[in-house]
């Protein structure tokens, strides 16, 4: 007789049966807290309602500096514009200083100044006085442009400005001449453009502090970068791509003069001038569409259809 096989019995585990629970009755898991208080602290945490101000400025020496993400010779701009938008960028910086408090400025503000200043430079080249020009001085900058929903008109006049010619003077004497010119200028106007040869720097006063804007290239500590550093492409004015545009905040005139002296090239028998650049008028533009058809035809002459000849 053949040997019978032993029957194998498999003991399966019990099948778990899950009861379906509606989503609104399911227990909710608590999310992990973003911040856990250290042991020993019992004070309740509250979210501050204070607005972020001055949070992107850096203190370097006696001044506070704010850097953009690039400068006016960045490769994003057209090659023919590189290094020539200085006066237009300074005019745009004076406009931003009039519209916004300096405590609210961030690095993005400086980037927007450079972008809008480049557009203003191209618009200035299209004016009759700017045709066949490469370098645009402050007095030839187009003084009216659109800014969001407003049309802004600037007062840029060279005649009532302040200027002088530097002889073969020392650094101390040059700073004294700069100080006298800047002090007498701020007694007349709140903002202007400091020009020496082809270099333009915007200066203005706000809330008892002096500010300087230089659209050329600087390093992370606010020092002017000489030509030849960060070279990525030649430029007709000697400046090259690289570095960051700079805004300086100075408490006293002496610190402002030191910053101006560090950002310009002082040579014997060179002249400088400070041209006023003040916002003269702001016109808000209504861009809302008309609600009814009568608003469209209001004030228009009635249309007379020609009669057909019988």
Place of tokens 């006293």: 252
User: Residue 215 to residues 53, 71, 102, 245, 306: CA-CA distances in angstroms?
Assistant: 22, 6, 17, 4, 61
- Report pLDDT for 239: 40
- Report pLDDT for 300: 60
Give CA–CA dist 172/101, Å, rounded. Answer: 33
- Report pLDDT for 293: 74
Ranking 29-33, 160-164, 187-191, 237-241 by mean pLDDT, the lowest is 237-241
Sheet holding 270-284, edge to edge: 58-60, 63-67, 244-250, 209-218, 199-206, 191-196, 270-284, 150-166, 144-147
Tokens of 130: 């700017």
Distance of CA 230 to the CA centre of its chain: 22
Tokens of 122: 């191209």
Q: How do residues 167-176 score in pLDDT, each as one tens digit?
A: 767 888 889 9
Give CA–CA dist 115/290, Å, rounded. Answer: 32
Whether residue 146 has pLDDT greater than 70: yes
- Residue 83: Cβ within 10 Å count: 22
User: Residue 51 to residues 247, 249, 266: CA-CA distances in angstroms?
Assistant: 21, 20, 41
Whether residue 310 has pLDDT greater than 70: no
Query: Average of pLDDT values for 6-35?
Result: 83
- Report pLDDT for 292: 78
| Average pLDDT of the chain, as a whole number | 85
Residues 6+ apart with CB under 8 A from 104: 51, 53
Ranking 11-15, 148-152, 179-183, 275-279 by mean pLDDT, the lowest is 11-15
Q: What is the pTM of this model?
A: 0.75
Q: How do residues 201-253 score in pLDDT, each as one tens digit?
A: 999 999 989 999 999 999 999 999 875 444 444 333 334 457 899 999 999 99
Nearest to 253 by CA among 200, 202, 179: 179
Q: How do residues 27-52 score in pLDDT, each as one tens digit?
A: 888 888 877 888 887 877 676 677 78
Give CA–CA dist 48/169, Å, rounded. Answer: 54
């Amino acid at each position: 007789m053949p040997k019978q096989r032993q029957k194998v019995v498999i003991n399966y585990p019990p099948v778990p049966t899950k009861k379906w629970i509606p989503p609104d009755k399911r227990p909710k898991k608590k999310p992990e807290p973003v911040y856990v208080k250290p042991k020993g602290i019992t004070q309740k945490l509250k979210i501050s309602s204070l607005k972020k101000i001055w949070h992107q400025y850096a203190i370097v020496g006696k001044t506070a500096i704010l850097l953009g993400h690039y400068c006016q010779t960045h490769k994003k701009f057209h090659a023919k514009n590189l290094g020539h938008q200085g006066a237009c960028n300074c005019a745009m910086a004076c406009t931003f200083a009039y519209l916004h408090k300096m405590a609210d400025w961030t690095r993005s503000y400086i980037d927007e100044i450079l972008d809008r200043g480049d557009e203003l430079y191209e618009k200035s080249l299209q004016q009759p006085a700017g045709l066949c020009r490469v370098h645009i001085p402050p007095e030839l900058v187009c003084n009216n442009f659109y800014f969001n929903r407003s049309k802004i008109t600037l007062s840029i006049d060279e005649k009532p400005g302040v200027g002088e010619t530097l002889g073969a003077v020392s650094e101390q004497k040059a700073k004294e001449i700069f100080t006298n010119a800047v002090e007498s200028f701020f007694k007349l106007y709140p903002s202007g453009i400091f020009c020496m040869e082809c270099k333009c720097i915007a200066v203005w006063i706000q809330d008892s502090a002096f500010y300087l804007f230089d659209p050329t290239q600087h390093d992370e500590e606010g020092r002017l970068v000489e030509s030849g550093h960060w070279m990525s492409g030649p430029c007709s004015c000697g400046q090259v791509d690289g570095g960051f545009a700079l805004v300086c905040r100075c408490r006293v005139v002496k610190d402002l003069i030191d910053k101006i002296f560090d950002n310009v090239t002082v040579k014997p028998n060179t002249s400088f001038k400070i041209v006023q650049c003040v916002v003269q008028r702001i016109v808000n533009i209504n861009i809302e569409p008309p609600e009814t058809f009568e608003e469209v035809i209001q004030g228009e002459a009635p249309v007379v259809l020609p009669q057909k000849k019988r």
